[in-house]
Structure formats: structure tokens, C-alpha cells
């Protein structure tokens, strides 16, 4: 079983759902080391200070931000740990949206959410409510010292979380659009549609495989078959469990609070226009 990378709680109105987060994907590329072609020795890189030329251990390395005017701000681990981010251990639902409203370009990485301790029942409640309403939950969460938007949606028996990019992280792709004066005929479009219809099928990802990786692995295995065995050994979480509460009562109070906020917002709007 994989190890969880984060532990916290989803704030669903007045209902708290303790959860653990697991990466839903893993890279399958063939990994290589940089080596000296003559004798196979590993290539090592040293962390050297450009000012005094000394090699610096990790314990003495900090993060530096250089301003446009040349000033340097040096931040240490404590600076990141002390940031006032409420989303560090609490995933707050800020809105519910139709999943097809979110442009896939926003989606970054996918994670599995697992109910932790007493979180099983409210977890199932949120999962089933999302499934029946056809909605996804838009949330804020802080992972690896970075606050992110995320989308929680039901998938079979699970809740999955997709981290999202911020709007200012999406590039404007207008430059890649073809010139406006380029057109195609109806006959050309119909022919293209015929080709699409010929290859139309249900999505079955298990039918597809990484042929490049398979071919590369064959080359690597062929090389290994003639390589001598090495004579030396190689180099070789969170939020406290939340108390289970009366879910119906908590949700009723959450709905009442939400209605009250809307009424107050509408009242303040009327006062401004009056």
C-alpha cells in the first residue's frame, strides 16, 4: 500500500471529514544515471557557493528571492512553516460546481482521498451527495508549502482530488491560433467527420501501451545481459481525528448559516442601492 503524502480534514459546512491523501498516478519512464562512458563511474555534482567557492551542505542552504532591483530576500524553513495558511491541514469547500464547467487545462495532479478514523460516514455522505447532485466541490488546500485550488469529485467508491492551476498560471494561447483568413469547405469538414466516425469508440485506456518505453527496456535488458554483476552493494503526517457528530443536524445548521449569509449579502446590496 502506498504511503499517504498528507493528512488533514475536509470542512463540509459544519461537518468535518478526516482524510489521508495518496498520489493517484506514478511515472513509468525508464530512469537513467549520468555516468562516465569510459568506466561507468557515476557523475556527481557539488553545491558550490559562487562567492567563496566552498561546497555547501544541505543544512546551510536557504531559498533566496531576488527582486528586480537586485535586493535579495533569504527565506528559511521556519519562514514557510509560519505562514498563516488555514488550508495547511483543513480543506475548505468554497463552492460546488458542475464538473464540466472546469476547463481541463486547469487540472494539474490527481490524488485519492481516504477516510481517516471516524471520517468514513461523512466521507460516504459527501461522496453520495456529489454523485446524486452531479456536482464537484471546489476547495482550497495547501500541499508542499503551496496553497492551491482543487476539485473534489466522486469516482466509483472513492473521492478523488485534482489540484488546479491558478488562472494567472494559464498561458494565453491566442498566438497559436491559425490566421483568421484560413477557411475550409463544407466538403472538407464532412470528410473529416467521416474519418472521426470511422474511429469513434468508447474510451478504453487499457488498450494503449507505451511502445517507446517497451523498446527502450528491451535495449536496456540486452545491455544488462552482457554486463558484469557489481561486486559492491549499491547505495542503497496531520490533523487529529475529528469527532463524529450528528450529520443531519450539522448539515441543517450549515444550510441555515449559508442562507443567513445570502440574506445578509442581499440586504447589504439593497441598502447600497436604496
Question: Which residue has better confidence, 39 or 223?
Answer: 39
268 pLDDT band (50/70/90 cuts)? low
pLDDT of 238 reads 42
pLDDT for the residue numbered 237:
43
Determine, yes or no, domain membership for 199: yes
In a domain, 155, yes or no: no
Grid cell in block for residue 7:
493528512
- Please indicate, yes or no, if residue 194 is contained in any of the structural domains: yes
- Listed as own residue / partner, the contacts of 207-211 with beta carbons closer than 8 Å and 24 or more positions apart are 210/28
> How would residue 181 be classed by pLDDT, with cut points 50, 70 and 90?
very high
**What's the pLDDT score for residue 86?**
54
For position 242, what pLDDT does the model report? 43
Cell 508542499 appears where?
144
Domain-located, residue 193? yes
Closest Cα partner for 131 from 160, 111, 106, 164? 160
CA atoms within 13 A of residue 125's CA, in its CB half-sphere: 19
C-alpha 119 chain-centroid distance: 22
Nearest to 88 by CA among 161, 3, 6, 5: 6
The answer to whether residues 131 and 154 touch, using CB atoms and an 8 Å cutoff, is yes
Q: Does 34 reside within a domain?
A: no
Eight-class DSSP state of 48: B
Give the mean pLDDT of 251-268: 75
Q: What is the pLDDT of residues 202-244, one digit of tens each?
A: 888 888 888 888 888 888 888 788 777 766 554 444 444 444 4
pLDDT value of position 265 = 67
- 215 lies in a domain? yes
Question: pTM for the whole thing?
Answer: 0.70
216 assigned to some structural domain: yes
**Is 95 among the domain residues?**
no
Instruction: Give the residue-averaged pLDDT of 60-68.
Output: 88
Lowest mean pLDDT segment, chosen from 96-100, 197-201, 232-236? 232-236
Number of folded domains in the chain?
1
| Domain of residue 217, residue span | 185-225
Return the percentage of the chain with pLDDT > 90, whole number.
Answer: 31
**What's the mean pLDDT when you consider all of the chain?**
83
Amino acid at each position: 500500500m502506498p504511503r499517504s503524502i498528507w493528512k488533514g480534514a475536509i470542512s463540509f459546512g459544519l461537518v468535518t471529514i478526516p482524510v489521508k491523501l495518496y498520489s493517484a498516478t506514478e511515472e513509468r519512464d525508464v530512469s537513467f544515471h549520468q555516468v562516465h562512458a569510459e568506466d561507468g563511474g557515476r557523475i556527481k555534482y557539488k553545491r558550490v557557493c559562487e562567492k567563496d567557492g566552498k561546497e555547501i551542505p544541505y543544512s546551510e542552504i536557504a531559498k533566496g528571492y531576488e527582486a528586480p532591483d537586485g535586493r535579495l530576500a533569504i527565506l528559511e524553513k521556519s519562514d514557510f512553516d509560519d505562514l498563516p495558511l488555514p488550508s495547511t491541514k483543513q480543506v475548505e469547500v468554497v463552492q460546488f460546481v458542475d464538473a464540466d464547467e472546469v476547463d481541463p487545462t486547469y487540472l494539474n495532479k490527481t490524488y485519492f482521498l481516504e477516510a481517516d478514523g471516524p471520517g468514513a460516514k461523512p466521507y460516504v455522505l459527501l461522496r453520495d451527495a456529489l454523485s446524486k447532485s452531479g456536482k464537484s466541490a471546489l476547495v482550497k488546500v495547501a500541499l508542499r508549502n503551496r496553497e492551491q485550488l482543487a476539485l473534489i469529485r466522486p469516482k466509483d467508491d472513492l473521492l478523488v482530488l485534482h489540484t488546479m492551476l491558478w488562472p494567472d498560471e494559464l498561458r494565453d494561447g491566442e498566438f497559436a491560433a491559425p490566421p483568421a483568413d484560413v477557411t475550409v469547405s463544407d466538403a472538407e469538414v464532412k470528410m473529416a467527420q467521416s474519418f472521426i466516425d470511422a474511429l469513434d469508440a468508447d474510451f478504453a485506456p487499457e488498450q494503449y501501451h507505451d511502445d517507446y518505453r517497451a523498446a527502450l527496456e528491451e535495449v536496456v535488458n540486452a545491455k544488462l545481459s552482457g554486463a558484469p554483476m557489481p561486486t559492491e552493494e549499491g547505495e542503497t503526517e496531520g490533523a487529529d481525528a475529528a469527532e463524529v457528530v450528528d450529520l443531519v443536524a450539522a448539515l441543517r445548521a450549515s444550510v441555515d448559516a449559508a442562507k443567513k449569509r445570502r440574506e445578509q449579502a442581499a440586504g447589504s446590496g439593497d441598502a447600497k442601492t436604496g
